[in-house]
Structure 1
């Protein structure tokens, strides 16, 4: 996955708006050469070293060694070593530490959920929703994919997902069901998905929709519904959504659904990581 230079430059500009680390400048130590090691105090799934290396390159620093995103870390592990002028090391220090602490946490949480789901249903995938913190999308998506999850929808232009609000403007469920063949013809290269209640799911599958998203339906109800819907169309995609979290993900996966759409992966307590600096 590629995160644009412009996004990294925005992160830098937000922390160094005038292009100078005033503390390092006042102390007169900016030109001294040094070495910095990033290490973790928590077990973690690593994310973000590729972008950190690009950030440090802007400050005239060299990455001596770095583990790739997706590496498993144990407490105490050093995962990135950087050398360069003290001014560059200090300018990149916290920007990159924030990336590591926040997005390693998301990657780690995603991996925990994916492992729990695949342990009971290897064919069920964990899907992250669009309900993420504004401005965080590039690193958020990277972290969750590093953790083994997939984006549910990257944006409104990606797929057709019909909600009750859409049907309010369209003319209601009955009109929509009647028009499914024509609507599918309009998006012949894409899938037509609909969020549905338990009561309407079978009718939608019979009408020919490609997928049904069951929102806020209890696992025991989903377990009863899945075989009924698959009997109508074995190829229909069934997604459980609404309230899916680490505590119940395995239970939902065991119902036989094809995917779990969840928002919980966008939020995790930052991990405890730090740096050691020394002069060269």
Structure 2
């Protein structure tokens, strides 16, 4: 179960419906009973149907059937239907379609990468970065999970991930290495992960007891060789590949032997093509 706050849904509704549905009011069709159906025009992983149901309820319509987030649908398949007054259906129409199209797009792209990774390396996980459009995290994370992935890092408060920007204040990698024991002691309930692009630094970190290493933009062939060297030093170290990973190269990165592949590629792309039909009943 994934919970989306009421405040988020109310904000979505208010953005599209600041006061009234002027068109339905002027046409005087609001009191007629109708039905709305959402149909996918392509193969897709649906996400956001639970939030759409709540939006319909908030606006006075009743859902009569739906497919939950994570469902794989085929072209022409109707996956959500609601009934109510025409005014209610039209008020909920566009905001609901936007949620379903954009977040199903993320879920579908995530599933595409997950399937490719698992076909090559069943034990490698696909995780997603926090490089997403501000204000969209709640549903974006749900879409990733619906597609079979997991969030790499939900925020700064969750994990310890040391970047070059941090090392600039510590005297570089050697400064961190000199304090590694103290850092790990202070963060005894968390893993200490460090990002690097340098093989020599990765080997130093592995020997110094870093819990994990994140490799940024290292080509797959080079990374695969480095992973083998590090596994000899510490077979249990967590190894993460990130930077520029997409549908064209994700399989090559899966072959390197890393534990997880981190990507933001799934956030950028076209929405799923969803058809909406509203009729009188």
Same-fold call, TM > 0.5? yes
TM-score, normalization: structure 1? 0.98
Rounded Cα–Cα distance in structure 2 between residues aligned with 1:230 and 1:5: 46
Q: Secondary structure of the equivalent of 1:76?
A: coil
Shift of 1:206: 0.4
Rounded Cα–Cα distance in structure 2 between residues aligned with 1:172 and 1:277: 61
Residue 116 (structure 2) pairs with residue 113 (structure 1) = no
Rounded Cα–Cα distance in structure 2 between residues aligned with 1:217 and 1:278: 54
Rounded Cα–Cα distance in structure 1 between residues aligned with 2:215 and 2:22: 54
Corresponding position of 1:188 = 188
Shift of 1:191: 0.6
Rounded Cα–Cα distance in structure 2 between residues aligned with 1:267 and 1:149: 16
Q: Secondary structure of the equivalent of 1:170?
A: coil
Rounded Cα–Cα distance in structure 2 between residues aligned with 1:172 and 1:38: 54
Residue 78 (structure 2) pairs with residue 78 (structure 1) = yes
Shift of 1:119: 0.4
Shift of 1:199: 2.4
Are the counterparts in 2 of residues 124 and 253 from structure 1 also a CA contact under 8 Å? yes
Q: Which 5+ residue runs of structure 2 have no aligned equivalent? A: none
Residue 263 (structure 2) pairs with residue 234 (structure 1) = no
Shift of 1:268: 1.7
Corresponding position of 1:136 = 136
Shift of 1:275: 1.1
Moved over 4 A (4+): none
Corresponding position of 1:58 = 58
RMSD: 0.8
Are the counterparts in 2 of residues 198 and 214 from structure 1 also a CA contact under 8 Å? no
Q: Which 5+ residue runs of structure 1 have no aligned equivalent? A: none
Task: Report how many aligned residue pairs link the two structures.
Answer: 279
Q: Secondary structure of the equivalent of 2:169?
A: helix
1:146-165 superposed matches below 5 A = 146-165=146-165
Rounded Cα–Cα distance in structure 2 between residues aligned with 1:81 and 1:251: 41
TM-score, normalization: structure 2? 0.98
Shift of 1:198: 2.0
1:211-226 superposed matches below 5 A = 211-226=212-227
